[in-house]
Amino acid sequence: MKLSLLDLVPLLEGADAATALAQARRLAQTAERLGYSRYWAAEHHDMPGLACPAPEVLLSHIGAHTEGIRLGSGALLLPHYKPIKVAETFRLLAALYPGRIDLGIGRAPGGSAHMSMALSGNFLENVRQLPESLRSLSALLADEFRVEDVPVRAMPVPPADPEVWLLGTNQKSASYAAEFGTGYVFGQFMSDRDGAEVFSAYAREFRPTSLGAAPRAIVAVSVLCADTEEEAHRLASESKRLLQPEGDSGADRPKPMIGTPRQVKAALEQLQRDCGVDEFMIVTLGPDYESRLRSYELLADAVWGAAGGISTA
Domain-embedded: residue 265:
yes
pLDDT score of 250? 53
pLDDT score of 240? 82
Domain-embedded: residue 224:
yes
CATH at residue 31:
3.20.20.30
Domain-embedded: residue 32:
yes
Domain of residue 276, residue span: 2-304
Structural domain count of the chain: 1
Domain-embedded: residue 312:
no
Percent of the chain, pLDDT > 90?
Answer: 91
pLDDT in tens, 182-191: 999 999 999 9
Look up the pTM and report it: 0.94
Domain-embedded: residue 309:
no
Long-range contacts of 80-85, Cβ-Cβ distance < 8 Å, separation of 24 or more? 80/110, 80/116, 80/119, 80/120, 80/123, 80/126, 81/120, 83/133, 83/134, 83/136, 83/137, 83/140, 84/136, 84/140, 84/145, 84/152, 84/154
pLDDT score of 171? 94
pLDDT score of 253? 67
Domain-embedded: residue 168:
yes
Characterize the bridge pairing of strands 163-168 and 101-106. parallel
Domain-embedded: residue 70:
yes
pLDDT in tens, 118-134: 999 999 999 999 999 99
Domain-embedded: residue 196:
yes
